[in-house]
Amino acid sequence: MEAQTINPNNIIEKWIWYALILTYPFYVLGAVYIIAPVLGWLLMGYWAYNLWLPKQMRAKSIQVEPHPLVMLWLLGMFVMEIALVFGHLDFYLGIPAIIKSSIGWAKGWALLAIFIMIGATLPIRPEIIYRACCIIGLHTLILIPLFVLAAYTPIPGTIYISPLKVIGGPGPEFFEFQLYGINPESLGPRWRFFTPWAPAAGLVANFYFIFALHEKNVRWRWIGITASVAMCLMCQSRAGLVAMLFVSPAVFFISRLKSPALWISGGVGISAMAVLATELMAFVESSVDEFKGARAGSSRVRAALGRIAIQRWEDEAPIWGHGVVERGPHLVEYMPIGSHHSWYGLLFVKGVVGFIALAIPMACTFILLIARAQSCKTAQAALSCTFIIFMFSFGENLEILAYLFWPALVLIGIAFRSDTIEKSFHGKI
């Protein structure tokens, strides 16, 4: 680790740093799911504590008044809790269920706003996140031979479930120590690393890929890139592969909207596409069919879950939702209705209120980051992270996995800071 990477006098960066580089030790203990909520609420409390101190006693570099968009995220996630309560009341689920679900909200949806708030108000440099995630990549590369070897020996895939599961969570898979898993369709090995299921590893790999691309040290950059690509291939996530191929090129062009060369080349490209429109449409259709056919069973279940969620939302709970996910029928292999899709899940569980509570902050974040990405490298990385979050929202429930991609949320918050933009104009980022 280079001396300038972490400031020994910055306790906030120390907490962020060790929470990241100790990911695999935490995974062995079954504590990854616990660390993020604890860290998030502690740092939120640290900011609130400084808010009430006299100005001369506050910690340096604390932004007491965050960007208005941060406040919009906080409002949106608070509305999620309101929708949760009304959904429970509408279906008479009881006070104990409201309390249990509210605890889940504090470990899920609330973290989206909290970590953005932390990045926007506390003295955290993006370089800390880039380097720490590259170190996780190094740990991954070291452990990959063990993971692969275990899959072809009599060693069981799941070694044990941590006793920390008594704390409570979405399921035992969040506390498992697993060396490998089995793809139910191909019956071959599939790795999820320190995540609860394989597609979630594809999500994490995409964030780490973006962080590695922005790492300044060439050696660490290539370690991070290699590890993130390996994770994406080994977890066999279709969405992960698509996102890794799409996001970086898309952000590259979006962040250069002021460039005349871009518009000229874009005009030429559109003209060429018009000539080849029929062939391109056929290629896109075949690609989509191949994407769905790669795991036809999974695509069928996801599509059926979506149809059921929409129908029941429209018929039974259009405003506040059902309050909780429900076990699905045999048609969807008893998967919970409202799972595998953030937007369908929001409509089913929290109604149109919850849907809007996420859609508005996310849309405003896109607009702000596209504007700032024209001159700020940090905003470009944050825009990439926002693209990844949006893309995976159509295949995963974001709130359940917020404990994994919280570094990306912190980075988005950093991009909101006024001092981040000021530094970018002086060429210091």
317-330 pLDDT, tens digit per residue, is 899 999 888 888 87
Minimum mean pLDDT range among 83-87, 179-183, 300-304:
300-304
Q: Rounded distance, CA 354 to CA 112, Å?
A: 14
pLDDT at 59 exceeding the cut of 70 = no
Cβ atoms of residues 114 and 40 within 8 Å? yes
Q: What is the pTM of this model?
A: 0.89
**pLDDT given for residue 50 in this prediction:** 82
Residue with token string 């006299």: 54
Q: Rounded distance, CA 253 to CA 263, Å?
A: 10
**Dihedrals phi, psi of 253, to nearest 5 degrees:** -75, -40
**pLDDT given for residue 333 in this prediction:** 74
Instruction: Report pLDDT digits (tens) over 372-398.
Output: 999 999 999 999 999 999 999 998 999
Those residues whose C-beta lies under 8 Å from the C-beta of residue 4, and which sit 6 or more positions away, are: none
**pLDDT given for residue 257 in this prediction:** 85
Q: Rounded distance, CA 131 to CA 158, Å?
A: 30
**pLDDT given for residue 272 in this prediction:** 56
Amino acid identity of residue 205, one-letter, is: A
pLDDT at 429 exceeding the cut of 50 = no
* pLDDT band for position 425 (cuts 50, 70, 90): very low
Q: What angle do CA 9, 12, 16 make, to 5 degrees?
A: 120
Please give the sequence-ordered ranges of beta strands (E in DSSP) within 169-285, or none if there are none: 176-178, 181-182, 189-190
Q: Rounded distance, CA 82 to CA 342, Å?
A: 18
Helix, strand, or coil here: 187?
A: coil
Q: Rounded distance, CA 196 to CA 158, Å?
A: 12
> Domain residues of the chain, as ranges?
11-141+298-425, 260-294
Average pLDDT over residues 27-40: 95
Question: DSSP state, 181?
Answer: E
Helix, strand, or coil here: 112?
A: helix
**pLDDT given for residue 63 in this prediction:** 76
Tokens describing residue 410: 């912190």
pLDDT at 84 exceeding the cut of 50 = yes
Instruction: Report pLDDT digits (tens) over 260-318.
Output: 766 676 666 555 555 555 665 564 556 555 545 555 566 778 888 888 989 999 989 89
Tokens describing residue 212: 């590695």
Residue with token string 């440099």: 125
Conformational region of residue 188, where left means phi above 0, alpha means psi within -120 to 50, and beta covers everything else: beta
Instruction: Report pLDDT digits (tens) over 362-375.
Output: 999 999 999 999 99
Average pLDDT over residues 407-418: 93
Tokens describing residue 311: 């129908």
Tokens describing residue 236: 């066999």
**pLDDT given for residue 426 in this prediction:** 42
